[in-house]
A and B are shown apart, each in its own frame.
Chain A
Amino acid sequence: MYTGPAGSAKLAEQIHDYNVHVDRNDVFWMIPVRHDAVEVDFDASRARLRVRGLDVFDDHDLANSLTQGLGLPTTPPIPGVFPVRAKVSFDVEWDGALATAQIENSSQHFKGSFLRTGATISWSAEQSGFRFQSDTPPDPKANLVSVLGHEQNGVFFFT
């Protein structure tokens, strides 16, 4: 979240960064959710992710998220910030194929069918003393790039 105008995302203007942290196995920002939190109709180029009241951390900014609260010695420096608890709710929709591709990438060991799609998000956050609500209805033009895929990677690349 940034103090600049809608559509901006400058690190120096960031005041909240919500994520679930990297897990002990180095998986980046992934958290198990209920199976029914995700609905996919790949043939119709649609998917939806809905989660309410997910426990996350507010690391203040991406630099503190990636350095686990150490900040960065940039100019000007980004001071270290201790993470605080927060809850987020979100409803993300992928809808409408803009481009499609069949990929078989033997260097990264992934393959599958991929769609570039339209997408919207409605989300909110709440923590001690602060609440945020994204604009509703969500603006489809806010989508910079979104992708849906049906893929196999790692050991499943070879099957």
Chain B
Amino acid sequence: MNKPGPFSWNRLQDKWLSRRNLIRGAAGTALGAGLLRPKLVYASDDDGDAEHPACIGPNPIPGGVTGLKPFGIFIHHNPLSPTTAIADISDPSQITDFDGFVGLTHIRGGGTGTDLATGATTRLAFQADMGFSQGKFIGTDGRQHRGTFAFV
């Protein structure tokens, strides 16, 4: 999927995995397994069968983009571009085997940051690439489910 580039991807990957394990270990020790990601919930079987109500996630779209070039970090996401006509967009969904509604945004704006220790405020900029998917999908268990997902 990711080819070696000017920067050694294999070396990054080795380091990445080591760091990832370290993070997982530290997280597990300090705060429990919940630190790394909120648990998958809310996705329900399409037929209402509650036998497998939790921990059933979707699968990623096969495509996507390579971010942070030239470092070659592949992500299963097609960012929106203001210069691409709507008829020419790539799949805006992050999940595959999906039938439903999808929304994506690419918004830049401003706001106020507050240092809670001193009360000092600072003007800051933000970029929000966010969205949702809502509908039916084939989950990692090979069964059809309905779910609502936020892209955050």
Contact = CB atoms under 8 A, between A and B. Distances in A.
B152 to A, nearest CB: 5
Given A56-B152, A134-B111, 5 more contacts: A20-B37, A88-B152, A121-B128, A151-B92, A152-B99
Contact of B134 (A38, A123, A142): A38
Interface of B: 7, 12, 15-16, 19-20, 23, 35-38, 40-43, 57-61, 63-64, 67-68, 71, 73, 75-77, 80-82, 84-87, 89-117, 122-128, 130-134, 136, 138, 140, 147-152
A66 B123 CA distance: 26
A67 B12 contact: yes
B89 A103 contact: yes
B125 A149 contact: no
A55 B60 contact: no
Contacts of A28: 60, 64, 75-77, 94, 151
Contacts of A153: 61, 91, 93, 96-99
Interface core residue of A5, A109, A146, A155 (most chain B CB under 10 Å): A146
A108 B67 CA distance: 19
B94 A27 contact: yes
Nearest to B56: A32
B16 A139 contact: no
Interface of A: 1-9, 13, 15, 18-35, 37-38, 40, 42, 47, 49, 51, 54-56, 62-63, 66-70, 72-73, 80, 82-83, 85, 88, 90, 92, 94, 99-101, 103, 105, 108-110, 114-116, 119-121, 123, 129-135, 138-139, 142-156, 159
Given A145-B82, A154-B138, A47 B101 contact: yes
A33 to B, nearest CB: 5
Given A29-B77, A55-B38, A152-B99, A130 B116 contact: yes
